A and B are shown apart, each in its own frame.
Chain A
Amino acid sequence: MWWRIQALLIKEFLSLLKDKKSRFVLIVPPLVQLFLLSYAATYDLNQLPIAIYNEDRGSAARDLIARFNGAPAFREVLRIERQEQIAAAQDSKQVLMVLHIGQSFSRDLLGGRQLAPVQILLDGRDSNTAQIALGYARNVISQFNSDWARQHNQTGPPAELRVRAWFNPNLESRWFIVPGIVGLLTLVVTMTVAALSVAREREQGTFDQLLVTPFTPAEILIGKAIPGLIIGVAEASFSIFMVVFWFQVPLLGSLAALYIGIVLYVFSVIGAGLMISSLSVTQQQGLLGGFLVIVPGVILSGYATPIENMPELVQQLTFVNPLRYFLIIIRGVFLEGLGIADLIDQYWPLALIGLFCLSCAGLLFRKRMY
């Protein structure tokens, strides 16, 4: 049996890799996406354009402005002189945030009896960025507050927050996003390979030829699954290599735990892909089917937006999404240093999804669907 499967494997690899165009499709898009996503997809604010409207002439105001300008998250692009300018600057999207220091700021601050208000105006058109910017601004102000208290020998606040972030002390969202990309790319590549494999043979008529040879459906299935597995794992390995050495994300946990996760994950994705493929008659259907799985798969995985923020019903849906489990595995291994024992709860659902889909695909093969 093994050498017959081996013949299937050789055939599969040759038909995938011999053609220049399909080689291109396998290699270039994932690379482009790796770099594009890694550099572009970040929630960290960096040099966000802001405007400052300072009506106060005191040194405290100057000090506060200097702190905003010193923060890497912000960049002052406009100094506003009159109230009316604020609206113009916001409307035109020239700035995303306006820092407004009122006339009485220094007086209130020095007087100490009243709170000195500082107003921040945010552009809610991009509410996510606005929210993040608000967080950054709050940090700047609270730092200013505690320094002010210390310098002016006031009694200072009775308590203070000491915030520590585990696993990612500087809260770099790149550390979060980039390992996730490994899961994303592996999903796209493996799914495309698997979803098109049977459909392509159907379209070219070779699938009939295959079915009249002594191959059993199980052999054909294995012959279709293994190339996807090898390509998926290779693609994942390359991406991980780039994540560690190019993007410098620390890899704390065990590589073995990661690879068990990768193999199971690729296995489950191939299962889904082959299921789609054995249902579709043409390549376009295969492609569309793959697309219809990939898009919700990515959106409902916790890759870009946390699963806890989703409605309860949608959260339930994510339990059948292999990417959900894989993201926990890869982020856990990379950032939290988890080992095999910690991830058992993620491994078995993946294996289950894979087995289920693959048996369905096998059943559809046997029925031969026409």
Chain B
Amino acid sequence: MTAIAADAAPAPLTFKSVSKRFAAGDRVVSALRDVSLSLPLGQVTALVGPDGAGKTTLLRLAAGLLLPDSGSIASFGLDTATAGAQLHQLIGYMPQRFGLYEDLSVLENLNLYADLYGISPQDRQQRFAELMRMTNLQKFNQRLAGQLSGGMKQKLGLACTLLNRPKLLLLDEPSVGVDPLSRRELWQIIESLVGQFGTTVLLSTAYMDEAERCQQVVLLDSGEILHQDAPAGFHRLAEACSYQLSSPVLGKRMLQQRLQMHADLIDSVVQGDAVRAVARPASWPDWMAIFDTAEQVRITSVPPRLEDAFIMLLLARHDEKLPVETVCFVSGNGSRFLATEQPAVIEVEQVDRWFGNFQAVKKLSFEVRHGEIFGLLGANGAGKTTTFRMLCGLLPASNGRLRVAGLDLRTAAAQARARLGYMSQKFSLYGQLSVRQNLQFFSHAYGLRHKLRLQRIAWAFQEFDLTEFADTNSVDLPLGYKQRLALACALMHEPEILFLDEPTSGIDPLARREFWNRINSLAAQGVTILVTTHFMEEAEYCDRLLIMREGDILAAGTPAEIRSRSQTAEQAPAETMEEAFIRLLELTGASAE
């Protein structure tokens, strides 16, 4: 035994029946249960799974920042429990919120980490130059890290971690809050690293398209490894289950609603003009029963994706179908009309916003019609949050006119605000208050009384499946539930207009689907929705979009229009929104900033 072990080069990372528990309040939560894992040398491994599956715990254990309750963890043969600085020389770890010193400049941060890793001044120049080239940060050398956009922060964080040329690189959600362009650059860095130095990489991610790019994928759920395989292995699980459907008659959203009603179909997402559906394994959905021939539905079988397998495996484990969400308002009125015939609910005319000498928003004009889902997209720092805050009345415009339901919310009477719902990117809830107390507070805040109030609170509990957590402090909720509660609070008073700021950042694919199903059904009931996101896939859910860049409009229109705008002489129109976005940026000759 020992002879064999000594022969083989020690693996970059091995977990042997590792368990880890935490005390959360008065409960004990098992973050990892009996996890065994071994990473192959020189490969990129993705760690995927729903929120609270134990991804961060696993990475922290691997970095030696936590010790397992039972089992053992070794990196290159070094036990994390006993090896100290020696281990840290081999491992590079980037936490979720990377520990950049926000009051230090880019160069100062790099210098600090170079000092900490003991890199000599001679090596330093060369490595800095190399990393600067990879990350495109040269221009921002002197800028304070706190003033970088989310994407640049992540790149800088990665650069700091890479200074030491670690043999094992651990990255916790490196691409959360990062726009598509920076995301692509991050991946280029990671992949060139593996090619150049044979670094082994373990990263957690909520983006399935990122996991597709890895050599290995580990699916974690409730602290257990559900499946570990190459992406192709995951594809095989979902072989012959994926279809693409389109219909000129029904339209994508109607098509999707129909598909959701069907028991054999476990998943359906809008993709371009079509809908992608996944059937239960080994089932042959009876398309004839779902659609009329008059509806001219075209069905094609498509190759499986990792995401299909992800959903399949998780649903099989939890033994359920993805819930069909139809949010019903008590006084739910109106059906969905064609948006163009509707009056404008949100009007923005020639709006400017200056912060000192910096113009965050430049002569912006657009309007959102009744019952529309309107997306505000853009890279970090493009001005979408500023626009959003001006619309909500949280920030005055420097110039121009903003109208929401015919009113300027900064000066309108308090009661006018009762017509809108608001959900911010941090899911701002009162952390010390329980779920029930939060709901009670917001129901009062929106002026609900008596029977209606009780009715709406009961509705929120049932609709968002919050009963289990009624008395949990909202700060202790899993992220997905925080988001649900925030949405429940924003919908308490059946608003006519809903403002959503990055509503799905950091949320896993399952929760994201649930969320969009709800939003769709709200729109169908005539609620006007304004949403900001840098999740390009989600742009497909919007009726119309506005892509912002440096405070300006880069592109506006329906998703299909925007995709077709990316068409050039050499290239066909982009298939996905993300591609379209990147191409549009490149066409206009812009960098990430």
In the complex, what distance in Å separates the CA atom of A15 from the CA atom of B475? 11
Tally of chain A residues near chain B (CB < 8 A): 27
Which residues of B have CB within 8 Å of A216?
Answer: 414
Interface-facing stretch out of B86-94, B442-450, B570-578:
B442-450
A227 CB to closest chain B CB (Å) equals 13
Contact A211 B393 (CB under 8 A): yes
In the complex, what distance in Å separates the CA atom of A232 from the CA atom of B422? 34
B53 CB to closest chain A CB (Å) equals 26
Partner of A209, one of B389, B424, B440: B424
Question: Closest chain B residue to A205 by CB distance?
Answer: B428
A20 CB to closest chain B CB (Å) equals 10
Which residues of A have CB within 8 Å of B499?
Answer: 212
With contacts A19-B432, A206-B430 known, is A212 near B417, CB below 8 A? yes
Partner of B440, one of A4, A7, A211: A7
Which residues of A have CB within 8 Å of B215?
Answer: none
Q: Mark A1-32, 1 if CB is under 8 A from B, else 0.
A: 00110111011001100110010000000000
Contact B441 A11 (CB under 8 A): yes
Which residues of A have CB within 8 Å of B445?
Answer: 4, 7-8, 210, 213-215
Contact B432 A213 (CB under 8 A): no
Question: Closest chain B residue to A219 by CB distance?
Answer: B414
Partner of A6, one of B424, B442, B444, B447: B444
In the complex, what distance in Å separates the CA atom of A209 from the CA atom of B420? 11
A368 at interface by CB-CB < 8 Å: yes
Interface residues of B in 417-434 (CB under 8 A from A): 417-418, 420, 422, 424, 426, 428-433
Which residues of B have CB within 8 Å of A214?
Answer: 414-418, 445-447
Question: Closest chain B residue to A18 by CB distance?
Answer: B432
A208 at interface by CB-CB < 8 Å: yes
Contact B393 A14 (CB under 8 A): no
Q: Which of A206, A209, A210 has the most C-beta atoms of chain B within 10 angstroms of its own C-beta?
A: A209
B226 at interface by CB-CB < 8 Å: no
Contact A204 B444 (CB under 8 A): no
Interface residues of B in 542-574 (CB under 8 A from A): none
A246 at interface by CB-CB < 8 Å: no
Interface residues of B in 389-403 (CB under 8 A from A): 389, 392-395
Contact A204 B431 (CB under 8 A): yes
Chain B contact residues (Cβ within 8 angstroms of A): what range?
A: 20 to 34
B437 at interface by CB-CB < 8 Å: yes
Question: Closest chain B residue to A14 by CB distance?
Answer: B433
Question: Closest chain A residue to B410 by CB distance?
Answer: A368
Which residues of A have CB within 8 Å of B415?
Answer: 214
In the complex, what distance in Å separates the CA atom of A3 from the CA atom of B450? 11
Q: Mark A238-261, 1 if CB is under 8 A from B, else 0.
A: 000000000000000000000000
In the complex, what distance in Å separates the CA atom of A212 from the CA atom of B486? 14
Given pairs A206-B430, A209-B428, A213-B418, 14 additional interface contacts (CB within 8 A): A10-B437, A15-B430, A15-B431, A15-B432, A18-B433, A205-B428, A208-B422, A212-B392, A212-B422, A212-B499, A213-B445, A214-B414, A214-B415, A214-B445
Q: List 7 A-B contacts (CB under 8 A).
A: A7-B440, A15-B430, A205-B424, A212-B422, A213-B418, A370-B394, A370-B395
A-B pairs with the 9 shortest C-beta distances? Answer: A7-B444, A205-B428, A213-B445, A212-B422, A15-B432, A205-B426, A214-B414, A214-B418, A216-B414
Query: What residues make up the interface of B, taking CB atoms closer than 8 Å to A?
Result: 389, 392-395, 409, 414-418, 420, 422, 424, 426, 428-433, 437, 440-442, 444-447, 449, 473, 489, 499
